């Protein structure tokens, strides 16, 4: 959970206030005689305000409503100008900055923060049980209880894992990387972690990704694939919580049977929650 106020809330409010003042200035100057130079300066000021702490402002949210992203407007100043003029036309503008609104927007985006927090949680559990975090394959091979964070390059990239262990990670998922690789004595575990609280389009995609991971049949007896599912959806999947409706119940039942069938055939793989994770390692 993320129930405390964001540590940078005041900074978000300051930048939001500056963005609003700049937009108000652009609106007032626009169309006036000999205003082009001043408008150019104001847009340059707006551009400098956008990179950090702007995504939870009303204007930052409007950029998303225009089917664009902050990265796109920072790459294309003409796009920033077009969206600015559209904002001034379609939205009411005032200089009030209710700090609780900014916190509410941060709260709404809290799901995007769970990935890093989840990885830290898993790493923390391992460290309390005597596992060492390493960054190179040499240490990984010679230490009995060890783990590493998978990455897009280096010793723990998909390409490197294939070279070291003969396993084709990401072959059917556009080279998507796993989260952790863990070694316990001779056993090596390739782990992907998800956090789900409810079912839905994006959530179903996530559970299917874990199911696809479990379908991998390791080439060596000491290798294992691990699907880790955190959040209350695991409780629904295994009967501790009731499904919301018949459609969700049918979907959950189908997913549970899929997982059961796969694990009955590939007994070296695991599907676990936090309690299972602690027991396994």
> What pLDDT does 172 receive?
61
How long a stretch of residues is the chain? Answer: 281
> What pLDDT does 181 receive?
95
Q: Where are the domains of the chain?
A: 9-108, 111-280
Tell me the pLDDT tens digit for each residue of 40-89: 999 999 999 999 999 889 999 999 999 999 999 999 999 999 999 999 99
102-119 mean pLDDT: 76
Residue 262, pLDDT > 90, answer yes
The pTM is what? 0.67
Q: Which residues touch 83 (CB under 8 Å, ≥6 apart)?
A: 62, 63, 66, 68, 73
Please choose, from the candidates 125, 174, 177, 175, the residue with its C-alpha nearest in 3D space to the C-alpha of residue 156: 177
Q: Which residues touch 126 (CB under 8 Å, ≥6 apart)?
A: 133, 147, 182, 281
Tell me the pLDDT tens digit for each residue of 2-14: 788 989 999 999 9
> What pLDDT does 6 receive?
87
């Amino acid at each position: 959970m993320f129930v405390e106020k964001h540590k940078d809330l005041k900074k978000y409010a300051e930048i939001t206030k500056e963005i609003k003042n700049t937009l108000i200035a652009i609106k007032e100057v626009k169309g006036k005689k000999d205003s082009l130079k001043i408008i150019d300066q104001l847009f340059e000021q707006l551009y400098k305000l956008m990179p950090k702490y702007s995504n939870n402002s009303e204007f930052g949210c409007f950029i998303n409503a225009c089917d664009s992203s902050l990265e796109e407007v920072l790459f294309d100043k003409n796009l920033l100008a077009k969206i600015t003029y559209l904002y001034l036309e379609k939205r009411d503008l005032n200089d009030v900055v209710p700090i609780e609104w900014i916190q509410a927007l941060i709260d709404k985006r809290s799901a995007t923060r769970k990935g890093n927090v989840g990885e830290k949680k898993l790493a923390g559990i391992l460290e309390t049980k005597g596992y060492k975090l390493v960054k190179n394959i040499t240490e990984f091979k010679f230490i009995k209880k060890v783990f590493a964070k998978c990455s897009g390059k280096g010793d723990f990239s998909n390409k490197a894992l294939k070279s070291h262990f003969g396993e084709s990670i990401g072959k059917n998922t556009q080279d998507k990387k796993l989260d952790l690789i863990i070694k316990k004595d001779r056993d090596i575990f390739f782990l992907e972690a998800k956090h789900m609280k409810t079912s839905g389009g994006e959530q179903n995609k996530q559970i299917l990704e874990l199911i696809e991971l479990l379908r991998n049949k390791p080439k060596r007896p000491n290798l294992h694939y691990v699907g880790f599912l955190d959040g209350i959806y695991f409780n629904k999947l295994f009967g501790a919580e009731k499904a919301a409706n018949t459609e969700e119940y049918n979907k959950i039942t189908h997913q549970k049977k899929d997982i059961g069938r796969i694990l009955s055939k590939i007994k070296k793989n695991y599907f676990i929650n936090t309690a299972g994770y602690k027991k396994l390692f």
